[in-house]
Amino acid sequence: MNKSHLLKVLNVTGLPPQLKDCIIPSPPLNLIAFLYKILHIPSGRIYIGMHTWDGKVYWFSQKETKDLSILWGIEKGTFIYEILEYGTTEQMKEAEARLLELVDATNHQMYFNENNGMMVKNKDLEADSLIVKQLIKDINDQKWPITKVTKADIEDLYFKQCREEALNRDKLLEITERIQINGGQTNNCQPLIVLEDRNGSDLGVNGFHTFNAFMNAKNATQIDVIYVPKKYHKNIPDSFLNEIGNTFNKKDTFVSTKISQKDALKEMLDKHYSGYKLNDDYVRQQCILEYNFTPREAGLIVSKFNKQKKIDVKNKQMNQTYITPSQSLKNKEKEKYKKLYPNKKITVQSSDTYGLDRALKPAKTQNSRDILVIVHHKNSIDEEKWNKTEHQEWIDLLDYTKSDIKIEYKSISGWSTDILSK
């Protein structure tokens, strides 16, 4: 449990008496909403919910689950609370509905949920694409004036994260330095694009690095902003906001970080997860025509997009959802095996980056001849590959070397995360 994450996400400094543990992944810079799970340890029953962050203490909706509310009111230390995912309100509502519909939680005895959430259906990719493309055209056509603002005017501005990497610190330092060298002038910077009253507050959708550089540059006093009135963006789904930022980031200016393949892939997956049906032609054309990728680069993005979709399908089997083990769980497993095998050197490694050289490092640096490797997996495909072939291949390879070093493997399964959490 990270106390700083506890305060930032759940707005408390300590756990309530009901909780035995709280697992919170590192939150994004701009926290909007999150998907969470509450596990009742004695019964193994689960509650899945989502919450739009508002700076107030919130655990779950007691009106929507009578059984959980009763246990929550009388028991102590019998629950584990875990944040599963961060995103926009729209994305989290749909993620919640996907998980609940997958197991039909309303009629499942192991779930507290009394409804299966609300999945938005019958989405029109072409129609919604036209809306966002019209907004981009209006911005390029200077439909709305450029406003000069000070640091005090925008110091609390939130940004939609459209980049795969939240903040490139090297690029931030470069832009900050260039602004300062230019006497604090930001005339070479693209205007920040801000959607007025988006989900209750103004939201920046382009210029995140520029904004932070401007705020950091001591001699900078003003920056250009284009404010888009609510009536022009209110019908744009959250999953299409990345397209705005990515479109303007394709320009090669010193104050922008050019869109990467990961950024484009993130945008396509966001749309896919929100219920849109994206075919290969759409992904390829968007990457080539809108973002100036080469056909080869666009083909790579299409391949990665399809691979991730296959992983997502594979990750949902037997009325379960594959969950990559959290750092907290990995630490618990390591401590458990330390107690069971005090004479072994314990290491934790991912199956997708595993190698004998890494596993044998304790033998070289600490003269350990008896090693236990706890293996975890990024997704269900990696776990299946490990169980079917890779595990035995590494055993055979070590045997082939005729080394006196012993390596034993224990695997953390993403399918049994709930069991391991008990």
pLDDT tens per residue across span 43-63: 999 999 999 888 888 899 877
pLDDT of 398 higher than 80: yes
Label residue 420 by pLDDT band (50, 70, 90). very low
In the prediction, which pLDDT does 402 show?
A: 85
Of residues 185 and 201, more confidence is placed in 185
In the prediction, which pLDDT does 121 show?
A: 56
In the prediction, which pLDDT does 167 show?
A: 67
pLDDT of 34 higher than 70: yes
Backbone phi and psi for residue 298, each to the nearest 5 degrees, phi listed first: -65, -35
Considering the chain, what is the average pLDDT of its residues?
84
Label residue 252 by pLDDT band (50, 70, 90). very low
In the prediction, which pLDDT does 119 show?
A: 62
Alpha carbon distance 52, 12 (integer Å): 16
pLDDT (tens digit per residue) in 139-195 = 999 999 999 999 999 988 888 765 445 567 777 888 898 899 889 999 888 899 999
Label residue 254 by pLDDT band (50, 70, 90). very low
Instruction: Give the chain's domains with CATH numbers.
Output: 3-120 (3.40.1440), 125-317 (no CATH), 327-421 (no CATH)
pLDDT of 229 higher than 80: yes
pLDDT of 129 higher than 70: yes
Of residues 122 and 405, more confidence is placed in 405
In the prediction, which pLDDT does 401 show?
A: 82
pTM for this structure?
0.54
In the prediction, which pLDDT does 54 show?
A: 84
Of residues 361 and 265, more confidence is placed in 265
In the prediction, which pLDDT does 418 show?
A: 42
Which residue from 135, 329, 335, 361 is spatially nearest to 244, judged by alpha carbons?
A: 135
What is the rounded average pLDDT of the residues 405-409? 91
Label residue 320 by pLDDT band (50, 70, 90). low
Contacts of 136 (CB under 8 A, 6+ apart): 243, 244, 247, 248
pLDDT of 399 higher than 80: yes
pLDDT (tens digit per residue) in 327-340 = 888 888 999 999 99
